[in-house]
């Protein structure tokens, strides 16, 4: 960032972000910096879980039931090869948590991606085309929103599980979870995008694009959408946090990831049966990871909301 | 207003109709009613005869209309497991769930108003910072984890509270037994209510704070200050009143959401309510009970939302009725 070079080389994308209003606000906000750092550490652990984890929790050959319920190494009676102890089936808890975080994070991100694709397309169409289509789609959004996502997901997954039997269900549980969390929350995006589109549509650059003869598809995606991004960013952080919580809740109820392939929620659930016998760590350690993960995402979302200050859909 | 009311009620009926269709589709595809009725030891001929008698060979539309007709008479089928009408089973379990919701609502209303108003009046104070910080932590902890944490601390380690069940209940009337009339009952209902409230409380504190701060900027509050009214009177009589409208409408919608969260709290605390029953019904593939639960819960959602919308239209004359479909 020396003053000499700025005239010659166009600023790289990274330095543009670094020097933007967001970049400045980020550096001045220790909570945001720490949150992002923790999030990156967790994400790193999740992505490289197969390389970091000392054991493979999905490999039955590495699991020995005789190793079950060892406490973490800082408590007496621990086995030094298991950092956070072992769970009820004798799996290394540290490895299982890494793999579980990977699943939780992946389901959360995929579900939100699905929400975003559905919601943004519907919001763009409703806002840009307007008229009957708009009122029909928004009425549907109202109805969908009036049912709690968790309730819809619980009933959908319960019926699916009863219909296919648990064996088939467990095999495809990850897809069912992504689908149901993804579909149930589309109105969050659709309403916000629609509201921004209604405001943007009246602006002159849209008129000029239309006069230039661009089709509605191009105007929506290339012209209006880039100007509606800041509310989308803000919603996305909150939605990822909520999706991770929803997934954990569903898995806790036994309607999500099976114990043989646990996400953080199913790990907490399997530990809950042992909490009365004193093996608190099977529940507590994945619980802490889950809360920290959701908390840092929420804190980042809060910071982003303060900086971007978009007009979010209200009421 | 009347047109709005009619449209809103019509929409509610249409949604209930859609829910009944989903319910029927589940009933039609999930499990085999004959097997639940007579077991496996009956010959194929008798089965066919029974199937004809029960009308299981009729077309989809005929069967659906029969289902709808029965549902309108309050007959949602007979539970395979309890051998009782499914609706009766649910209505018997409902008071336990509603008491949990009531307990949580009392906690939320009692705490969110003072906390929300305080953080709005003194946004820069240290205590406000702590409250707001705790509220974001509260939002980030899933309700089942709060429940487990409370069991671990207050029931297992300290032994102050019981960890499961309803304890001693006092009979009121019909199938309604209350937890709020005996000490033992109150001890049992406290932890689950706090757990259930923990997820909603931060939401309401933040909502009241945001609305209150907006109201405090308005002309009439400034005027009241200039007139020399006592601050407490301005905050709690003039400002709070105008804050509550959005809070009530959000709150009404959240009652439905709370029913979903009761499934989680009831599972952790083995609370004998509707949610716990539903999960058991799923494990037993008790189709009529699953369908009845779907319809009852759908009904609760539709009714609360319709009432909330109507109240909103009624008390807020500036509401844009055209947008809401009038």
Pick from A159, A181, A194, A256 the residue to mutate for testing the B interface (most B CBs within 10 Å): A159
Mean pLDDT for B153-181 is: 73
> Are the beta carbons of B26 and B290 closer than 8 angstroms?
yes
pLDDT tens for B256-314 read 788 888 888 888 888 888 888 888 888 888 888 888 888 888 888 888 888 887 877 77
Average pLDDT of chain B to the nearest whole number: 80
Please give the class, per CATH, of domain A27-308. mainly alpha
- A276–B156 C-beta distance less than 8 A: yes
- A151–B145 C-beta distance less than 8 A: no
pLDDT higher than 80, residue B47: no
Structure tokens at A85: 């102890």
Separation between Cα atoms, residue A252 and residue B40, nearest integer Å: 34
Structure tokens at B71: 């549902």
Confidence of residue A262 (pLDDT cuts 50, 70, 90): confident
Pick from B12, B21, B144 the residue to mutate for testing the A interface (most A CBs within 10 Å): B144
State the smallest CA–CA distance between residue A231 and chain B in angstroms: 18
- B140–A291 C-beta distance less than 8 A: yes
- B256–A147 C-beta distance less than 8 A: yes
Of A143, A241, A268, the CB nearest to B140: A241
pLDDT at B148: 86
pLDDT higher than 90, residue A114: yes
Of A139, A155, A245, the CB nearest to B142: A245
Q: Is the model more confident about A268 or about B28?
A: A268
pLDDT at A152: 87
Structure tokens at B80: 């395979």
Separation between Cα atoms, residue B52 and residue B58, nearest integer Å: 8
Please name the residue of chain B whose CA is at the shortest distance from the CA of residue A315.
Answer: B246
pLDDT at A110: 94
pLDDT at A65: 67
pLDDT at A178: 92
Q: Which strand (E) or helix (H) includes residue B214?
A: helix B183-216
pLDDT tens for B72-81 read 877 777 777 8
Spell out which residues of chain A touch residue B157, defining contact as CB-CB under 8 Å: none
Lowest mean pLDDT among A266-275, B117-126, B170-179, B240-249: B170-179
Please name the residue of chain A whose CA is at the shortest distance from the CA of residue B138.
Answer: A295
Please name the residue of chain A whose CA is at the shortest distance from the CA of residue B289.
Answer: A159
Spell out which residues of chain A touch residue B268, defining contact as CB-CB under 8 Å: 272
Of B141, B143, B148, the CB nearest to A272: B148
Confidence of residue A3 (pLDDT cuts 50, 70, 90): very low
Separation between Cα atoms, residue B5 and residue B315, nearest integer Å: 14
- A253–B260 C-beta distance less than 8 A: no
pLDDT higher than 90, residue A86: no
Chain B within 8 Å of A280 (Cβ-Cβ)? yes
- Print burial letters for B47-64: b (CB count within 10 Å at least 16), e (below 16): beeeeeeeeeeeeeeebb
State the smallest CA–CA distance between residue A53 and chain B in angstroms: 25
Reported pTM? 0.85
Confidence of residue B33 (pLDDT cuts 50, 70, 90): low
pLDDT tens for B138-158 read 888 888 888 888 888 887 778
Pick from B145, B263, B312, B318 the residue to mutate for testing the A interface (most A CBs within 10 Å): B145
Q: Is the model more confident about B90 or about A83?
A: B90
Chain A within 8 Å of B276 (Cβ-Cβ)? no
Write the CB contacts of B218 (distance below 8 Å, at least 6 apart in sequence).
Answer: B242
> Are the beta carbons of A174 and B284 closer than 8 angstroms?
no
Please name the residue of chain B whose CA is at the shortest distance from the CA of residue A244.
Answer: B142
Separation between Cα atoms, residue B299 and residue B234, nearest integer Å: 40
User: Can you name the residues that pair with B178 across neighbouring β-strands?
Assistant: B170
Confidence of residue B325 (pLDDT cuts 50, 70, 90): very low
Q: Is the model more confident about A65 or about B116?
A: B116
Chain A within 8 Å of B178 (Cβ-Cβ)? no
Please name the residue of chain A whose CA is at the shortest distance from the CA of residue B319.
Answer: A315
Lowest mean pLDDT among B3-7, B45-49, B216-220: B45-49
State the smallest CA–CA distance between residue A105 and chain B in angstroms: 15
pLDDT tens for A116-160 read 999 999 998 888 888 888 888 888 888 888 788 888 888 888 888
Which range, A82-91, B46-55, B298-307, has the best average confidence (pLDDT)?
B298-307
Structure tokens at B149: 């944490």
Separation between Cα atoms, residue B274 and residue B288, nearest integer Å: 14
pLDDT tens for A288-311 read 899 999 999 999 988 888 887 765
- A158–B259 C-beta distance less than 8 A: no
Write the CB contacts of B119 (distance below 8 Å, at least 6 apart in sequence).
Answer: B128, B131, B132, B205, B209
pLDDT tens for A178-214 read 999 999 888 888 988 888 888 888 888 888 888 888 8
- B297–A291 C-beta distance less than 8 A: no
Interface of B with A in 207-246 (CB under 8 A): 246
pLDDT higher than 70, residue A73: no
pLDDT tens for B232-261 read 888 887 788 778 777 877 777 787 788 888
pLDDT at B55: 66
- In percent, the amount of chain A with pLDDT more than 90 equals 15
Mean pLDDT for B224-228 is: 84
pLDDT tens for A19-54 read 777 777 778 788 888 889 999 998 888 888 888 777
Chain B within 8 Å of A209 (Cβ-Cβ)? no
Of A148, A252, A265, the CB nearest to B256: A148
Mean pLDDT for B91-110 is: 87
Sequence ranges of the domains in chain B: 86-268
- Print burial letters for A231-253: b (CB count within 10 Å at least 16), e (below 16): bbebbbbbbbbbbbbbbbbbbbb
Separation between Cα atoms, residue A119 and residue A191, nearest integer Å: 8
Which range, B84-88, B110-114, B308-312, has the best average confidence (pLDDT)?
B110-114
- B156–A148 C-beta distance less than 8 A: no
pLDDT higher than 50, residue A315: no
pLDDT at B242: 78
pLDDT at A297: 92
Please give the CATH number for the structural domain made up of B86-268: 1.10.3720
pLDDT tens for B176-195 read 777 776 777 777 888 888 88
């Amino acid at each position: 960032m020396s003053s000499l070079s700025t005239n010659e080389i166009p600023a790289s994308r990274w330095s543009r972000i670094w020097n933007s209003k967001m970049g400045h606000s980020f550096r001045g906000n220790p909570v945001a910096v720490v949150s992002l750092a923790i999030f990156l550490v967790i994400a790193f652990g999740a992505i490289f879980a197969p390389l970091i984890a000392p054991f493979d929790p999905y490999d039955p050959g590495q699991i020995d039931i005789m190793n079950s319920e060892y406490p973490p190494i800082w408590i007496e009676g621990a086995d030094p090869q298991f950092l956070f102890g072992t769970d009820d089936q004798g799996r290394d808890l540290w490895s299982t948590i890494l793999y579980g975080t990977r699943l939780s994070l992946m389901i959360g991100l995929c579900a939100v991606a699905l929400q975003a694709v559905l919601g943004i397309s519907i919001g763009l169409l409703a806002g840009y085309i307007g008229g009957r289509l708009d009122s029909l789609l928004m009425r549907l959004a109202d109805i969908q929103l009036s049912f709690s996502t968790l309730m819809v997901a619980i009933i959908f997954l319960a019926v699916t599980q009863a219909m296919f039997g648990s064996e088939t269900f467990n095999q495809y549980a990850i897809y069912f979870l992504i689908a149901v969390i993804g579909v149930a929350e589309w109105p969050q995006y659709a309403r916000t995008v629609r509201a921004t589109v209604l405001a943007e549509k009246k602006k002159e650059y849209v008129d000029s694009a239309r006069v230039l003869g661009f089709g509605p598809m191009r105007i929506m995606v290339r012209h209006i959408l880039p100007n509606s991004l800041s509310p989308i960013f803000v919603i996305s952080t909150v939605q990822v946090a909520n999706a991770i919580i929803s997934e954990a809740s569903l898995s806790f109820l036994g309607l999500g990831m099976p114990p043989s392939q646990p996400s953080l929620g199913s790990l907490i659930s399997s530990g809950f049966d042992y909490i009365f016998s004193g093996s608190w760590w099977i529940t507590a350690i994945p619980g802490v990871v889950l809360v920290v993960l959701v908390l840092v995402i929420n804190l980042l979302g809060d910071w982003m909301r303060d900086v971007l200050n978009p007009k979010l859909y209200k009421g | 207003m009347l047109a709005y009311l009619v449209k809103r009620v019509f929409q509610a009926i249409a949604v209930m109709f859609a829910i009944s269709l989903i319910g029927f589709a589940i009933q039609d595809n999930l499990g085999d009613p004959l097997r639940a009725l007579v077991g496996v030891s009956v010959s194929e001929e008798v089965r066919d005869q029974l199937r004809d008698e029960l009308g299981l060979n009729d077309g989809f539309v005929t069967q659906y209309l029969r289902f709808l007709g029965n549902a309108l008479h309050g007959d949602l089928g007979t539970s395979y497991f309890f051998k009782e009408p499914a609706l009766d089973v649910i209505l018997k379990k409902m008071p336990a769930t509603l008491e949990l919701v009531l307990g949580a609502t009392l906690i939320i209303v009692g705490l969110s108003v003072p906390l929300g108003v305080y953080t709005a009046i003194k946004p820069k104070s240290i205590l406000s910072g702590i409250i707001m910080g705790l509220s974001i932590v509260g939002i980030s902890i899933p309700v089942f984890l709060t429940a487990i944490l409370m069991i671990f601390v207050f029931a297992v380690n300290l032994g102050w509270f019981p960890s499961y069940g309803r304890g001693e209940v006092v009979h009121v009337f019909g199938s309604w037994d209350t937890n709020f009339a005996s000490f033992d009952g109150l001890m049992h209902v406290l932890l689950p209510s706090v757990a259930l409230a923990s997820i909603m409380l931060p939401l309401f504190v933040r909502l009241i704070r945001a609305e209150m701060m907006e109201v405090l900027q308005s002309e009439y509050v400034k005027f009241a200050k200039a007139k020399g009214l006592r601050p407490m009177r301005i905050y709690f009589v003039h400002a709070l009143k105008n804050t509550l409208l959005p809070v009530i409408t959000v709150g009404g919608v959240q009652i439905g959401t709370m029913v979903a969260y009761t499934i989680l709290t009831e599972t952790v605390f083995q609370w004998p309510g509707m949610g716990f029953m539903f999960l058991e019904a799923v494990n037993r593939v008790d189709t009529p009970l699953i369908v009845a639960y779907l319809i009852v819960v759908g009904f609760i959602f539709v009714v609360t939302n319709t009432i909330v919308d109507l109240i909103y239209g009624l008390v807020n004359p500036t509401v844009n009725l055209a947008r809401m479909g009038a």
